[in-house]
Structure 1
Amino acid sequence: MTTFTQQIRGRGARSNASGRYEAQVREAFEDGWTVEDPQPLQIRTEVAPEKAKVIITRNDSPDVGFSASINPYRGCEHGCTYCYARPAHAYMGLSPGLDFETKLFFKPDADVLLERELSNPRYRPEIIHVGGNTDPYQPQERNLRVTRSIIEVLSRFNQPFSIITKSALILRDLDLLASMADRNLVRVAISITSTDRKLSRSMEPRAATPEKRFDAVRRLTEAGVPTMVMFAPVIPGLNDHELEAVLERSADAGARGAGYVALRLPLEIKDLFREWLETDHPDRAGRVMSLVRQMRGGREYDAQWGSRMVGQGPIADLLSKRFAAARRRYGLADRQEPLDMTLFQVPPKAGDQIDLFG
């Protein structure tokens, strides 16, 4: 394991352990020559293209809410230490730690692949979720515009989709989203984990501030885009006390619905999250981990379907009751209205013969 003794400026992970599939393991050690630097270290973000063969991926998990998804990026610069997508970076021969948020991959041909897959005669319309793994509106999207190119294709095909983000950059594409909302083809979820700017910066160092996320909810709603808020993850002993406040402000901003997910710590995330707690919140680290274990049957993670998203036991039950009560109090639905599946159509290409009898 490669461990750093200082915080990395603007990053969430505190270490960069070798990927679990690597034949060799790197381990840092103190040789007595280290000179303490009062300034935090900096690591530049590297972005590389990824040659994908398909763009729509599918899963058979019964508790994620979708079976088809598109992920424009691999890795995420937002740097959330708790991100459940981190372990996937090991498949690239990289670390789920700092590599995950500094060595990113994008799919430059995403729109071409999507158009080809939607045009396949065997394709049957279903709701596609954009951003089910990493955020589709992370900082690199500002210049790369992969997510926008995907939405442009979805719009041309009248293909319904949902999208989730914790970035205000989604407002750049309000023109497309509002147009698709008029056709009942899109719904948006904004992830808001705190109203406390300092805590939010600690948990999600390069994501939008809470104020910008609430503003995104307001502007999306005003444009007619159905928007819900995800209070995810709920971290017991750290941000769970803000549940009601987040839902109240979300309702005031115009959100139509709300959901939540309990903290999940599979594979390498357990160690990364613990390191982050001990660095940023040492006074609460022991209690937070104790509460996590109480919600996971005495373990730090339980991957069992049906409970992995919400936990189990008295603490999880109380959280569920609090959430249900707050949702009712503020008039937030637990799910959004179904999207229109009947409008899907492969658009004609240049040179196609016009159907005079259609």
Structure 2
Amino acid sequence: MKEAYFKGRGSASHPDNQYHRSSLVFDHVEGIDIPEHEEGLSTQFIPVSSKAALSTNDSPDLALNASVNPYQGCEHGCIYCYARNSHQYWGFDAGLGFESKILVKKDIPGQLKREFEKKSYRPHPFMLSGNTDCYQPAERRFKLTRQILELCLSYRHPVSIITKNRLIERDMDLLKELARLRLVHVYFSINHLDPQLKLLLEPRTASAKVKIDLIRKFSAENIPCGIMVAPIIPGINSEDMVAIIQAAGSAGAKKAGYTVVRLNGKVKELFTEWLETHFPGRRDKVMHQIEQLHGGKANDTEWGRRMKGEGALSQTIAGLFRKAVNRYIDPNGQMPDYDEQIFRGNGQLKLF
């Protein structure tokens, strides 16, 4: 069901949940049959329990095989977000439902503490977050990410953070101390330089300028920072890649990575709708180039190819990326190795 685009929202519809046998439709909108979202769209925070704090994966495409996700759903509204599909598991839709029904795992700090205390637990860096942004607007209210970082500091546990939100600056006190102990890496996701594109592509995230400024500020405090140029969308933001790496390198970024866009599940429907609304003249060209990257399809689940693509266009992107990194990222400024030897878990914290 397509609605008008709401200010600050990436999608404009509530697509059917693929796991539901029926869906809500409005054939007659007179009288009491007023569309559910006609008057506007507010965010609802829904408390849920977590079975475990750590989510694990066996993907060869990912550097870390564990993540902690304090929130499901994300107000950032990034139209391309792969996590939209997983919101259907909770009974919501991948469109506006993903952006407005935010699941809050209030028990996750306690769950993580119990993990650290297990005698069998061995420390290994985990990602904050692997699914949705741990510093999305909900964090200002619930402070779950800060509690997780406090636990990591208390237990001397390594953690890697990736975000698009300036709220991370709030926790600079914790990040400075974690960095001093070689326990944290911070990555900023930056995939464009145009503020107007940001309002359409990922409306509630920080601007590229803000994120570059944070890299400079964090680097001055010896907090190791990197960037992910992700995702690269041919014909939309691909031309910004080199300039992003140059700006991030000048600000002190020690590492850079990238992925190309893939449109699995409902994301293809939402993204196509987004193109038709905002870039109708580019729609066919953009979709064709995305398909070129993924064996002729917009979706992709094949290891390796799903992240970097294949073919001539993929090779061009990879070549430009390597040249930019070699030119603008200091080869002597590598991310420091994590110190996994100072972990205080397995009941050891009681000794301090």
2:272 counterpart residue number = 274
Shift of 1:209: 1.5
2:336 counterpart residue number = 337
1:58 counterpart residue number = 56
**Which whole-Å deviations, capped at 9, do the CAs of 1:268-323 have from their partners, x for residues lacking one?**
10000000111111121111111101111111122100111001110001000000
Q: Give the letter for the 2:325 counterpart.
A: R
Alignment coverage as a number of residue pairs: 345
TM-score (normalised: structure 2): 0.94
1:27-66 mapped onto 2 (5 Å cutoff): 27-28=25-26, 42-66=40-64
Distance 1:332 1:61 in 2: 29
Do 2:126 and 2:159's aligned partners in 1 also have CA atoms closer than 8 Å?
Answer: yes
1:1-358 mapped onto 2 (5 Å cutoff): 2-4=1-3, 6-28=4-26, 42-332=40-330, 336-346=335-345
SS of the equivalent of 1:288 reads helix
Distance 1:302 1:222, change over 3 A: same
Distance 2:254 2:79 in 1: 28
Do 1:192 and 1:230's aligned partners in 2 also have CA atoms closer than 8 Å?
Answer: yes
2:35 counterpart residue number = none
Do 2:19 and 2:88's aligned partners in 1 also have CA atoms closer than 8 Å?
Answer: yes
Q: Give the letter for the 1:150 counterpart.
A: I
Do 1:194 and 1:246's aligned partners in 2 also have CA atoms closer than 8 Å?
Answer: yes
SS of the equivalent of 1:270 reads helix
Shift of 1:349: 8.3
Shift of 1:255: 0.8
1:37 counterpart residue number = none
TM-score (normalised: structure 1): 0.92
SS of the equivalent of 2:186 reads strand
Distance 1:288 1:325 in 2: 24
SS of the equivalent of 1:309 reads helix
SS of the equivalent of 1:283 reads helix
SS of the equivalent of 2:51 reads coil
SS of the equivalent of 1:247 reads helix
RMSD: 2.0
Unmatched runs of 5 consecutive residues or more in structure 2: 32-37
Do 2:179 and 2:222's aligned partners in 1 also have CA atoms closer than 8 Å?
Answer: yes
SS of the equivalent of 1:87 reads helix
Structure with greater helix share of residues: 2
Distance 2:39 2:314 in 1: 38
Distance 1:347 1:169, change over 3 A: farther
Distance 2:135 2:236 in 1: 26
Distance 1:54 1:213 in 2: 31
Shift of 1:19: 1.0
Shift of 1:264: 1.5
Using the aligned pairs only, state the percent identity.
Answer: 38
